[in-house]
Each structure stands twice: as structure tokens, then as C-alpha cells.
């Protein structure tokens, strides 16, 4: 949840680049004398290419498969290399040991950071952009909302969402990603805000959709651009959340979800969080929670569709639980979701193979000597999770979808689907829980067939099957 992938929206950006490239080229000619990248003298920087001044290699990243972008440079330069993307000089890291140094053992030298446009869109006071005492305080509050002890009581609510949604798919062709976003968003809303009226949720959902479209666009604040529209949606979303916050403060009832925890929080001096701090964190958590989970679920349906024997094995596991529920005349419980080992391994392998979160941003807070190289203060440092997850040394036949590989725990620091260290995703347990609940009901009641023969990946912003995986869903003929 917390770690963001910045893979491009190819279809959307292609039309933007046709217009923007001449503008960027002209601007480059005018600014060239001022924007030359300068290498520090007498320092050994990592190998690599910085590309064009100012633009760097951003156009290459945005116009080719980002996984190829990173893997090609790793093969050419090694596990540590430099580049220049999104206006920032960067160092890319693709070894588990180096990633651990950045994220855990020397994390104090590398603060979490994102391009300014991303920070502006989510909110500067959100957990993701913080460190130190404020980060520690926020992390404890967010974790309190997403610990197993806190979310185990949400099973029936999440199950209700799944049972309400799945029947609407029967005998229909759906776009999997779009439908999974509906599901994951509703789960994120009850987790963040508690029970809300449908009218409030629908309005917030529409604003989030606009925010999402602009999140990975070029940050051009011009009329008609996705970025301008997203920033307008962000302003309206902030106003809606503040009204909800003010209403809860007035009636003296904090309510449920993360919002209730943030409203009731006080530090040792009895200072409460401000409305802007609360709003930024609610916006950030919902944004991170629903988009990544929807992408994971889309890939799971793709992999199960392509591996019929695996789908039947998962169904058999879920039918065993279903019989128990029928005999005891009840719904799913937290303990039931802990009794799905094969389904759990399918989720693990999906997180590895698809690597929804391709990398995370860090920034050197001072000049750092690292693995024999010099990283200047202010440079971005990006551990490449996908590259590590697809290294044959750690995962033999990495392109093969094989959940059985997780019958044995992976080597330390080679499997980081939710990041690592103090800034690791606090919502990982919720993501797993809602995925298990949906798969339980979907595999036991439905079958699906991919529509069309177009294979491949698109980025929006996370990697998903082409066109969001259109499928025809039919009720399952139970034996």
C-alpha cells in the first residue's frame, strides 16, 4: 500500500508526448546553459547514463516497458547504476543486500521521498512523506488500525461487500481491473472511514477516480491536462473529508476506521492532529490501499485462468471451508482465512511474479559512500523490487507461476512485495484478508474466461493485463 509504483500509463501518455515533445525540446534549448548536470569532482559515481540535461532518461522510461528499462541497464551496468528520471538524478539498486542497507540498516541516511507532484497530489503531511518523530507517531496510529487484532472484526463487512458485488458479474463480460477497484475501494473506505452513507462514498469515489488518472501524468498544471483535473479533484476531496472530520468533532463521536483513531489521538502534551494532517493521511491510505489491491486481484484471476489445475486445487481448498460454514450456518471468520494455505501461496506468488510495486523512492539526506560508490546528498535512491523478485538466483525459473516455491520461506531480503523496514506497508494484512475473502466466494461460485486473445501488460499506474483483463463470468456448475 504504502510503496508506490510509478510505471507509465502508455496509452494516455502517448497522445500527451506528441504534443509535449516539441514544447520540451524548445524549453531545453532555452534552458540548456542552466540545466547541465554536473558530476561532483574526484568522486566515483555509479556507472550509468544521465541522458539529456533536465529531461534525463524520462522519455525512455515513459515510452518503453519500465521493466525492460531497468533490466537492460542492470545487465549493462550491474546491480547499482545511475540515471536521471522525473527531473531527479537517481541511483537504482537491484541486489537484496543493498536494498536492505537503504531500507533497514542505514535507513536514517535515506529518507522516503517522491517527486513533488506526487507529494502535492496525495498531501504533504501524509505518512508516506515523513520521517522522525512525526512519522513514528503516525505509523503507530495507522498500524493500530490495520493490525490483525483490529481488522479481524471486519471480516463480515468485507464479506458483505464481496457477496453484494460478485452476483452482478454472472453471465456478464466485465473488465476485471475496474471491478476489482470497486471492491477494493469499498473495503478501503470502511477501513479508513468506518461506516459511511452511500452518497458520501459515491462522491468521494468519483473524485478518487479523477485523482488516479492524473497521478501518473506529466505534472503540467495547464488547462485540460490530467494533472490540472486531478489537482482540482484533490481540492474537492480535501473539502469533503474536512466536512466529515468537522461533523465528527462537533458531535463528539470519532466513529470507526482509521479516521476514528486519528481523531482520538493525542501526544504526550495532549496535542491533537490537525484537520489537514488527518485529511492528508486518509487520502493517502485510501489511494494506496485500493489501487494496489485491485491490481493484485486482477493478476490472480489471470494466473488462475491460465492454470486450470491450480484453479481447481484452490477451489477444492475453499470448498472444504464452505462445507464447514454450511454445516455451522455462519459466514467467514478470521480463523477461516488462516486455514487457506494454498490460496495464500497463490497470493504470495502473484505478488512476486506481477511485482505490482516495482520500486520505492528514497533520498540521500547527506553525501553517502555506498558499495564503493558516492551518492550525493539529494539524489534519489530506488530499490528495484521487481528486479530482485525476478532474479533466477533467488527464484528459479522466475517467469513461471509456481506457488509451490513458497512452501519454503524465501531467502531473507529477496521477497519484499510490501517494502521493508520502518516504512514498509502497514496495510499488508488487510490486503491479504480482502483478497482471501473474495477468492473464497469467487472460486466456489463462478468460472471466468478471458475475452479476446490479446496478451501483454499495460500500466495504469500499476502493471496489469492488457485492457484491464476483460473476462466473461458464468455461474459454476457444482458437482
| Chain segment 381-434, per-residue pLDDT in tens | 999 999 999 999 999 999 999 999 999 999 999 999 988 877 778 889 999 999
Q: What is the largest CA-CA distance in the chain?
A: 76
Q: Are 108 and 201 in contact (CB under 8 A)?
A: no
DSSP 40: P
Residue 136: other Cβ atoms inside 10 A = 12
Give the pLDDT confidence score for residue 309 in this predicted structure.
Answer: 97
**Could you identify the residue written with the cell 508516506?**
128
Report yes or no: 379 and 89 within 8 Å, Cβ to Cβ. yes
C-alpha cell at 380: 534519489
Separation between Cα atoms, residue 177 and residue 298, nearest integer Å? 6
Displacement of CA 20 from its chain's centroid (Å): 28
Q: Give the SS3 label for residue 178.
A: helix
The closest alpha carbon to 286, from 237, 220, 319, belongs to: 237
Predicted local distance difference test score (pLDDT) of residue 456: 80
C-alpha cell at 166: 460478485
Q: Report whether 383 contacts 98 (CB < 8 A).
A: yes
Q: What is the pLDDT of residue 54?
A: 74
Q: Whose CA is closest to 122, among 42, 34, 209, 215?
A: 215
* Cα distance between residue 218 and residue 183, in whole Å: 28
Q: Which residue ranges in the chain fall short of pLDDT 50?
A: 1-21, 24, 27-37
Where helices occur in 147-197 by DSSP H, the ranges are 148-151, 155-165, 176-193
pLDDT for the residue numbered 39: 53
Residue entry with cell 517494502? 419
Q: Which residues pair with 470 in a beta bridge?
A: 175
Distance CA 226, CA 222 (A): 9
Contact call for residues 193 and 216 (beta carbons, < 8 A): no
Task: Answer for the pair 471, 442: CB distance below 8 angstroms, yes or no.
Answer: no
| pLDDT score at 67 | 72
What integer pLDDT is reported at residue 40 of this predicted model? 58
pLDDT computed for residue 30 by the predictor: 44
CA 273 to chain centroid: 26
The pLDDT of residue 219:
79
- Tell me the per-residue pLDDT of 444-453, one tens digit each, with 9 for 90 and over: 999 999 998 7
Task: Give the span between the Cα atoms of 8 and 394, in whole angstroms.
Answer: 27
Can you tell me the distance from the alpha carbon of 270 to that of 320, in angstroms, rounded to the nearest whole number?
A: 51
DSSP state of 384: B
Residue 424: name the closest of 17, 71, 3, 26 by CA: 3
Amino acid at each position: 500500500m504504502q510503496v508506490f509504483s510509478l510505471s507509465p500509463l502508455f496509452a494516455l501518455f502517448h497522445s500527451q508526448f506528441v504534443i509535449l515533445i516539441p514544447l520540451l525540446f524548445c524549453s531545453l534549448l532555452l534552458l540548456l546553459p542552466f540545466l547541465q548536470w554536473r558530476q561532483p569532482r574526484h568522486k566515483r559515481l555509479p556507472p550509468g547514463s544521465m541522458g539529456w540535461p533536465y529531461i534525463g532518461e524520462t522519455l525512455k522510461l515513459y515510452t518503453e516497458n519500465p521493466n525492460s528499462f531497468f533490466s537492460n541497464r542492470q545487465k549493462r551496468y550491474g546491480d547499482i547504476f545511475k540515471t536521471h528520471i522525473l527531473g531527479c538524478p537517481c541511483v537504482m539498486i537491484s541486489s537484496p543486500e543493498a536494498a536492505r542497507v537503504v531500507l533497514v540498516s542505514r535507513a536514517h541516511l535515506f529518507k522516503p521521498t517522491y517527486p513533488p507532484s506526487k507529494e502535492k497530489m496525495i498531501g504533504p503531511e501524509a505518512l508516506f512523506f515523513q520521517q522522525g518523530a512525526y512519522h513514528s507517531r503516525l505509523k503507530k496510529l495507522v498500524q493500530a488500525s490495520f493490525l490483525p487484532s483490529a481488522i479481524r472484526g471486519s471480516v463480515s463487512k468485507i464479506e458483505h461487500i464481496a457477496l453484494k458485488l460478485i452476483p452482478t458479474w454472472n453471465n456478464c463480460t466485465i473488465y476485471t481491473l475496474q471491478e476489482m477497484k470497486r471492491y477494493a475501494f469499498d473495503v478501503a473506505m470502511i477501513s479508513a472511514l468506518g461506516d459511511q452513507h452511500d452518497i458520501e462514498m459515491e462522491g468521494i469515489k468519483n473524485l478518487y477516480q479523477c485523482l488516479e488518472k492524473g497521478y501518473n501524468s506529466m505534472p503540467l498544471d495547464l488547462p485540460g491536462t490530467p494533472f490540472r483535473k486531478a489537482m482540482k479533484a484533490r481540492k474537492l476531496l480535501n473539502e469533503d473529508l474536512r466536512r466529515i472530520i468537522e461533523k465528527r468533532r462537533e458531535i463528539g463521536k470519532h466513529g470507526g476506521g482509521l479516521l476514528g483513531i486519528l481523531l482520538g489521538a493525542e501526544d504526550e502534551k495532549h496535542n491533537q492532529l490537525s484537520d489537514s494532517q488527518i485529511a492528508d493521511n486518509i487520502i493517502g491510505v485510501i489511494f494506496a490501499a485500493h489501487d494496489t489491491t485491485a491490481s493484485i486481484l486482477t493478476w490472480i484471476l489471470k494466473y488462475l485462468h491460465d492454470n486450470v489445475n491450480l484453479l481447481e486445487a484452490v477451489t477444492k481448498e475453499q470448498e472444504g471451508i464452505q462445507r464447514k460454514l454450511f454445516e455451522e450456518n455462519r459466514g467467514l471468520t478470521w480463523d477461516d482465512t488462516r486455514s487457506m494455505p494454498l490460496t495464500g501461496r497463490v497470493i504470495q506468488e502473484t505478488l512476486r511474479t506481477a511485482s505490482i510495486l516495482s520500486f520505492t523512492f528514497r533520498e540521500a539526506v547527506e553525501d553517502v559512500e555506498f558499495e564503493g560508490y558516492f551518492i550525493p546528498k539529494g539524489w534519489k535512491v530506488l530499490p528495484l523490487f521487481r528486479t530482485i523478485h525476478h532474479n533466477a538466483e533467488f527464484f528459479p525459473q522466475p517467469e513461471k507461476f509456481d506457488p509451490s516455491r513458497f512452501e519454503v520461506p524465501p531467502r531473507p531480503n529477496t521477497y519484499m512485495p510490501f517494502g521493508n523496514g520502518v516504512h514498509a506497508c502497514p496495510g499488508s494484512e488487510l490486503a491479504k484478508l480482502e483478497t482471501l475473502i473474495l477468492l473464497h466466494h469467487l472460486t466456489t461460485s463462478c468460472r471466468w474466461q478471458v475475452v479476446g486473445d490479446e496478451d501483454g501488460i499495460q500500466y495504469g499506474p500499476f502493471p496489469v493485463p492488457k485492457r484491464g483483463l476483460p473476462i466473461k463470468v458464468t455461474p459454476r456448475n457444482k458437482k
